[in-house]
Structure 1
Amino acid sequence: MRRPSPTTLATSTAVVATAVVGTAGTDVTSRWYRELDKPPWQPPGPVFGIAWSGLYVLLATAGARALGSAGPRERRSYGRAYAANLVLNAGWTWAFFRLRRPPLATAEALVLAASTADLARRSGRLDPAAGRLLVPYAAWTAFAAALSAEIARRARG
C-alpha cells in the first residue's frame, strides 16, 4: 500500500479538524433548533452528515491535488484561501447553533459560498480535476446559504 503524500496528509488533517470543530458547534437536539420554523425543502437531518462526509473527502482530495500542482507562490496563495475556507466552514455552525443568530449565520454562509466558488476556480487553474471535485461543495454551500437565509427570514417573521 502506498503512503499518502505529505500534502494529502496536511489537507486531510486540516479537513478533519474542520469537521471536528464544526461538529462541536452543532446542536440539533436543542429546544431552540427544534422549534425553529424550517422550510419544507430542508433535507432530513441524516442527509447533512452523509453530504458533509462526501464533501469533506472531495475538499481534502481537491486541496491535495491543487497544492501538488502549485509552484511556491501559488502554494502560499492557495493555502491561505484554503485555510480561510475551512475557517468559514467550521464557523457557520458556531454562528447558527451556538450564537443562535440565523442572520449572522446567513451572512457567514454567503461568504463561505463565495469563498468556495473562488476555491473551486483557484483549484481548477492549478489542476482541472481538482476544480471539478469542488463543484459539489460549491453547490452545497450555495444551497446552505439559501437555507440559512430562509430560516433567518422565517425567524424574523
Structure 2
Amino acid sequence: MTRSSTAVASAFRLLGAVALCFSAAAIGSAATLPAIPTWYAGLDKPAFTPPNAVFGPVWTLLYLLMALVLWRLFEAPAGPARRRALTAFLVQLVLNAAWSVAFFGLHSPAAGLAVILPLWLAIAWTIAAARPVVGRWSLALAPYLAWVSYAVALNVGVLLLND
C-alpha cells in the first residue's frame, strides 16, 4: 500500500469509528429526548444532579473519546488481544445505548440501574483489554468511566427518591 492509500484507509476507519459510536448516541438520544420535558422533568432528583444543558456537551465529548479509542483499535494489528478489546468495546457500546432505552425509554430507574452496573464493568473491562493493544490511548476512556460512575450515583438517587 502506498502512503496515501494507507492514510485514506485510516481516515475511513476513523469515520467508521465515529459513525459507530454516534449511532449508539443516536439510539440513546431517541430514547432520552422525548422523556426529558415530560417524565424526567417530573422526577425527584438528587441535589447533585447537574442542569440538563450539561449532559449534551459531556456526552458529545465522551463519544468522541470513545471513537478515538475505537479507531486506534481498528488501526492496531489483528490478533487475539485486539479481538478481546474490540469485543469489550462493542459490549460497552451496546450497554451504553441500552441504558438510555431502559432508564428514559422505559421510564424505569430500576431497569436503568440493571443496565448501568454492567455498563460500568464493561467500560473498566474495555480499558483493561485495550491497554495492551493501544497503550495509553485506553486511558481516553477514563473520563467515560468517571462520568458513568457519577451516572450510577444519579441513577441510584433517582431510584431512591421515586419509589
| In 2: Cα distance, 1:55 partner to 1:47 partner | 12
Whether 1:28 and 2:58 are equivalent positions in the alignment is no
Three-state SS of the structure 1 residue aligned to 2:162 is helix
For the aligned residue pairs, the C-alpha RMSD in angstroms reads 1.7
Normalised by the length of structure 2, the TM-score is 0.87
Letter in 2 for 1:153: L
Whether 1:85 and 2:92 are equivalent positions in the alignment is yes
Q: Which residue of 1 aligns with 2:72?
A: 65
Q: CA deviation at 1:71?
A: 2.6
Task: Work out the number of aligned pairs and report it.
Answer: 155
Whether 1:128 and 2:132 are equivalent positions in the alignment is no
Please, which runs of 5 or more residues in structure 1 have no aligned partner? none
| In 1: Cα distance, 2:142 partner to 2:9 partner | 24
Normalised by the length of structure 1, the TM-score is 0.91
Q: CA deviation at 1:76?
A: 2.5
Q: Per-residue displacement from partner, 1:54-98 (whole Å, max 9, x unpaired)?
A: 001100001111332243323332222111111110111111112
| In 1: Cα distance, 2:141 partner to 2:110 partner | 26
| In 2: Cα distance, 1:4 partner to 1:57 partner | 19
Q: CA deviation at 1:43?
A: 0.8
Please, which runs of 5 or more residues in structure 2 have no aligned partner? 1-6
Identity within the alignment, %? 32
Q: Which residue of 2 aligns with 1:8?
A: 14
Residue from 114, 118, 140 that aligns with 2:125: 118
Letter in 2 for 1:9: L
Rg larger for: 2
